[in-house]
Amino acid sequence: MSGKLYIVPTPVGNLADMTPRAVEVLRSADMILAEDTRTSSTLMRRFEITTPMQSHHKFNEHDTSKALAARIAAGENIALVSDAGTPGISDPGFMLARECRELGVEVCTLPGPTAFVPALVSSGLPCDRFVFEGFLPPKKGRATRIDTLARDARTFIIYESPLRLVKTLESLAEACGPDRPASVSREISKMHEETRRGTLSELIAHFKANNPRGEIVIVVGGKLDKEVKVHTNKYKDN
């Protein structure tokens, strides 16, 4: 009888965001696949989870996903976690889920934490239609991707490192215009959580003067017609 692949979200910051169901699944699984076993060990100790762990990350998932899916098809129940948030969202997970699907193995994804949803809702920007971009290409294709996003009418979301934040905001301002409304969220659900709202030019000035730290989520308003832009330019940090 075939087993199941459980995709289990873990807290992006505050460990109190771990759900009882996630703990139960991790305890009952035959094995846990972890992006970094050292990082996940802290979480496992906190919730007294003793299930064996094995590394599953972007450097080995091409080679191991097929064999892992075969093990699940043979009857093992395996749970997948990333360092933080929901596996598959800018983290390993897609390849294993795809291999399981091709073998007819059930994939059960638990609802839970992910960084971009609270950042989007906290931004105050329209969230009825949006584009989640994840991390931009580091070099090749980066400018083209930004230009494409700048022309989209939907709010868009980008993950970024604090070291590249100002440079990325400057690229966005060049493509979108300096008055495009945006927000930057960092350290979501942690002690020093912050969401800064304003135009792209205001955010550039702020983060040039205040060195950003922690995980970063950028949310940018979509391209609007001239009438709406006049109203939107009143958007300020509060």
Sorted by sequence, the CB contacts under 8 Å of residue 105 that are 6+ apart come out as 2, 3, 4, 5, 69, 72, 73
Residue closest to 36 by CA, chosen among 57, 15, 52, 21: 57
Report the share of the chain in percent with pLDDT over 90: 86
CA-to-CA distance for 167 and 191, rounded, in angstroms? 26
- Strand, helix or coil at 12? coil
pLDDT tens sequence across 123-144: 999 999 999 999 999 888 999 9
Task: Return the exposure string of 70-97: e unless at least 16 CB atoms fall within 10 Å of the residue's CB, then b.
Answer: ebbbeebbbbbbbbbbbbbbbbbbebbb
Please tell me the predicted confidence (pLDDT) of residue 53. Answer: 97
User: Going from the N-terminus, what domains does the chain have, and what CATH number goes with each?
Assistant: 4-109 (3.40.1010.10), 116-232 (3.30.950.10)
Please tell me the predicted confidence (pLDDT) of residue 229. Answer: 45
Residue 6 pLDDT greater than 90, yes or no: yes
Q: Bridge-partner residues for 218, per DSSP?
A: 158, 184
pLDDT band at 226 (very low <50, low <70, confident <90, very high): low
Is residue 89 within 8 A of residue 111, CB to CB? The reply is no
Look up tokens 């009143």; give the residue: 234
Take residue 7 and report the two structure tokens written for it: 């995709």
Report how far Cα 173 is from the mean position of its chain's Cα atoms.
23
Residue 216 pLDDT greater than 50, yes or no: yes
Burial (0-12, 13-18, 19+ Cβ within 10 Å), 102: exposed
Residue 213 pLDDT greater than 50, yes or no: yes
Please tell me the predicted confidence (pLDDT) of residue 82. Answer: 95
Please tell me the predicted confidence (pLDDT) of residue 2. Answer: 82
pTM for the full model? 0.88
Query: In 10 A of CB 238, how many CB atoms?
Result: 6
Mean pLDDT, range 159-173, rounded to an integer: 96
pLDDT tens sequence across 86-124: 999 989 999 999 999 999 999 999 999 999 999 999 999
